[in-house]
Amino acid sequence: MNMDISRRRFLQGAGAGVAGTALGAFGFGGVEAAYAATVKEFRLFRTTEARSTCPYCAVACGMMVFSAPSAETGRMEVVHIEGDVDNPVNRGTLCPKGAGALDYIRSPQRVKVPMYRKAGADAFEEVSWDFAMERIAQLMKEDRDANFIETNADGVTVNRWPTMGFLSGSSCTNETGWITWKVARGLGMLQIENQARI
């Protein structure tokens, strides 16, 4: 093999395709093709990403959730989760619970529909979202009608609903939190809490 190759000759060889690349010019033409064949496609290359919030604890770390079409169903399913580097809360990190959220999503025990246990029944049954919302709204109205306090002992208007509380989750956005606050306070609730501390 002639190792006396000028810079011009070297660059000419590199620009002439695999057979004529730099390695090819040195007589190793098959090496690059073999190496290229070992390089796997980036595993998130064909995924769709979405930003979310870890639902586990009050830290409320930001997550990047990657989805791809399932080979079995054709529907999109979550294939990977990692910390969101742009989120100021966690800057790309996740604790072991958050890092294992994929198992939580895929768990066969995961509850995906409202469950209802009738008074006196010993088991829950699946119900529609419409049923659940109607039932909750009805119970809230009954309780508010029975316990709402318009004025205190001095006759001052207070508009309190002391028998109802509201708990919001860590996955709620600022906007959801704002609306939650407005609705709960507007109805007169005093006990309002949010899981997240952000």
Which of 9, 46, 51, 97 contacts ligand SF4 by CB under 6 A? Answer: 97
Which of 22, 59, 79, 187 contacts ligand SF4 by CB under 6 A? Answer: 59
Which of 24, 25, 60, 65 contacts ligand SF4 by CB under 6 A? Answer: 60
Closest contact distance (angstroms) between CB of 175 and ligand SF4 is: 19
Closest contact distance (angstroms) between CB of 59 and ligand SF4 is: 4
Closest contact distance (angstroms) between CB of 24 and ligand SF4 is: 49
Measure the CA angle with vertex 173, ends 159 and 96; round to 5°.
125
Which of 5, 95, 127, 198 contacts ligand SF4 by CB under 6 A? Answer: 95
Give me the residues paired with residue 48 across strands: 67
Closer residue to ligand SF4 (CB): 60 or 189: 60
Contacts 24+ apart (CB under 8 A), 73-80: 76/48, 78/102, 78/105, 78/106, 79/47, 80/43, 80/44, 80/47
Q: Does 61 bind ligand SF4 (CB under 6 A)?
A: yes
CB within 8 Å of 86: residues ≥ 6 apart? 62
Burial of 89 (0-12, 13-18, 19+ CB in 10 A): middle
Task: Give the span between the Cα atoms of 57 and 94, in whole angstroms.
Answer: 11
Closer residue to ligand SF4 (CB): 13 or 98: 98
Closer residue to ligand SF4 (CB): 104 or 116: 104
Task: Give the span between the Cα atoms of 52 and 40, in whole angstroms.
Answer: 28
Q: Which residue is nearest to ligand SF4 (CB)?
A: 98
Whether 139 and 164 have beta carbons less than 8 Å apart is answered as no
Contact residues for ligand SF4, defined by CB under 6 A? 54, 56-57, 59-61, 90, 94-95, 97-98
